[in-house]
Amino acid sequence: MIRSAAIRCLPIVLATAGGSPAETRKPSRAILFVIDGMHWQAPKRLGLTNVLRLADEGTWVTQAYCILPAHPTTGPYGKLHTTSLPNATLQSGTLFIGPGTRMVQECFFPKRLTAHGVNITAYRSLNRGFSYSMMLNGGPDAAVVDWGIDLFKRADIRFARLHLQDAGSAGAKCTQTKDDVPWRRNIWGQGSPYVSALRNADTLLGRLVDALKQMGKWSDTLLIVMADHGQATTGWHPPSQEDGWITPLIFVGPGVARGRVLEYAEHIDVVPTLCDLMGVEPPCKGPGSGVVLNEIKVCHSGKSPARPQRVRIINRLIRDYLLLQGKMRVRVPSDPSLERAIVLAERQFYGVDRILDWHEAGTLDQLIQTNRSVIEQIRQALLESTASK
């Protein structure tokens, strides 16, 4: 069945690609180009020339959902990772992470060379499995791209993650500034450092593509352009703000359809799809993992049945839980019986503080079912508390 499906796919490839063999071969290398905190509307709203050009040359997912961008610094997760939840789950391709969870670079390392460049040290917990690593403790985005270009010239890198931090830092500045400026709590405001950082990142993306073309390495490169998380319009990425969960996502390279647009995917789909296109086994399989986005392939029609939006659902349930927990805590002084409901909910609910336990739910659907049940229990407790007044 698999073999016959591949044969049926061939005419579609040739018709779509005009018979070009470049469209049917596997990429020689994959580059994950991450623009920190890029708002999902930024490419069109700001007219990011190079991002939009690559979207035309490949497949653009307009809304890719990551797990909400919380950053626990204490507890089990804080001991394991120095970076936010979306970065750890993106790199692994699963929401069921733990101390032994493999990351995508380990699918290539040590037999093939890998590289990780970023201009902040917060991502050091992702470093396992990289042949080359550059982490600046602050520094311009240009330093990351220039380092990557130089490395591609000198070494046969098969997987690289280049992470540009300046836009994310600028977004935080928008929400933190006390100055009376148009961009205070408005990332789109006149003179916004966030807009400037995104435009610069777009220019650097173009520089990388041009350099790969000059090296003769562009035609066999799989390039994935995305953000690690989204951005609230007020700046930064508060976990409760849905804009912080959504990023643009672009695939371009051998085997990827040109000019195709998808409306929804999840961050945990990136690594399975990358590995499938590269012909390597993904680092994680199982019920917490993402899926291969077959819709992006040249040999696919691009049409698929609507998929369950599990990451989006999980995020919304966690947001609802936090709000309801807050309501219960406010009422505790007048109704101490609610403390029992709070304790029970904390034990049962799979929240961000328990992400290393999420695998205990069995599947993402079962995790969703459990969290919905807990939220219903909280709502019932609040109703009973109100009725007893």
> What is the tens place of the pLDDT at every residue in 252-275?
999 999 999 999 999 999 999 999
Predicted confidence at residue 180, as pLDDT, reads: 97
Predicted confidence at residue 10, as pLDDT, reads: 43
In this structure, are residues 140 and 319 in contact, taking their beta carbons and an 8 Å threshold? no
Is the pLDDT confidence value at 21 over 80?
Answer: no
Q: Per DSSP, what are the bridge partners of residue 162?
A: 33, 117
Between the CA of residue 101 and those of 98, 197, 344, 350, 385, what are the distances in Å?
Answer: 5, 33, 29, 19, 43
Predicted confidence at residue 24, as pLDDT, reads: 64
In this structure, are residues 183 and 174 in contact, taking their beta carbons and an 8 Å threshold? yes
Average pLDDT over all residues of the chain: 93
Nearest Cα neighbor of 269 from 310, 236, 302, 237 is 310
Predicted confidence at residue 389, as pLDDT, reads: 62
Predicted confidence at residue 387, as pLDDT, reads: 74
Least confident of 149-158, 162-171, 298-307, 374-383: 298-307
Is the pLDDT confidence value at 13 over 60?
Answer: no
Q: What is the CA radius of gyration of the chain?
A: 22
Nearest Cα neighbor of 82 from 158, 20, 39, 137 is 137
Predicted confidence at residue 3, as pLDDT, reads: 32
For residues 7 and 114, the model is more confident at 114
One-letter amino acid at 379 equals: R
Helix (H, G, I), strand (E, B) or coil at 83: coil
Average pLDDT of span 142-166: 98
Is the pLDDT confidence value at 213 over 80?
Answer: yes
Burial group, residue 319, by CB count within 10 angstroms (0-12, 13-18, 19+): middle
Predicted confidence at residue 348, as pLDDT, reads: 97
Q: Per DSSP, what are the bridge partners of residue 249?
A: 61, 226
Average pLDDT of span 240-259: 97
In this structure, are residues 388 and 335 in contact, taking their beta carbons and an 8 Å threshold? yes
Question: Is residue 15 very low, low, confident or very high in pLDDT (cuts 50, 70, 90)?
Answer: very low
Is the pLDDT confidence value at 6 over 60?
Answer: no
Which residue is it, tokens 């050009």? 53
Predicted confidence at residue 23, as pLDDT, reads: 58
Is the pLDDT confidence value at 12 over 50?
Answer: no
Q: At what angle do helices 193-215 and 49-57 cross, to 10 degrees?
A: 50
CB atoms within 10 A of CB 303: 6
Average pLDDT of span 365-380: 97
User: What distance lies between CA 64 and its chain's CA centroid?
Assistant: 7
Distance CA 125, CA 170 (A): 23
Length of the chain, please? Answer: 389
Predicted confidence at residue 362, as pLDDT, reads: 98
Is the pLDDT confidence value at 98 over 70?
Answer: yes
Predicted confidence at residue 160, as pLDDT, reads: 98
In this structure, are residues 172 and 235 in contact, taking their beta carbons and an 8 Å threshold? yes
One-letter amino acid at 245 equals: W
Is the pLDDT confidence value at 130 over 50?
Answer: yes
> What is the tens place of the pLDDT at every residue in 282-330?
999 999 999 999 999 999 987 888 889 999 999 999 999 999 999 999 9
Question: Domain limits of the chain?
Answer: 9-296, 310-387
The DSSP symbol for 129 reads T
Distance CA 106, CA 320 (A): 36
Q: Tokens for 139?
A: 């520094």
Cα dihedral sign, 6-11-15-18: positive
Q: Tokens for 376?
A: 């219903």
Predicted confidence at residue 88, as pLDDT, reads: 97
Burial group, residue 83, by CB count within 10 angstroms (0-12, 13-18, 19+): buried
Nearest Cα neighbor of 68 from 47, 87, 55 is 87
* Helix locations, 81-239, DSSP H: 85-92, 141-154, 166-176, 193-215
Dihedrals φ, ψ of 94, to 5°? -155, 155
For residues 71 and 12, the model is more confident at 71
Q: At what angle do helices 193-215 and 166-176 cross, to 10 degrees?
A: 180
Could you tell me the fold of the domain covering 9-296?
Alkaline Phosphatase, subunit A (3.40.720)
Distance CA 55, CA 74 (A): 39
Q: At what angle do helices 310-331 and 338-348 cross, to 10 degrees?
A: 160
Predicted confidence at residue 228, as pLDDT, reads: 98
Question: Is residue 18 very low, low, confident or very high in pLDDT (cuts 50, 70, 90)?
Answer: very low
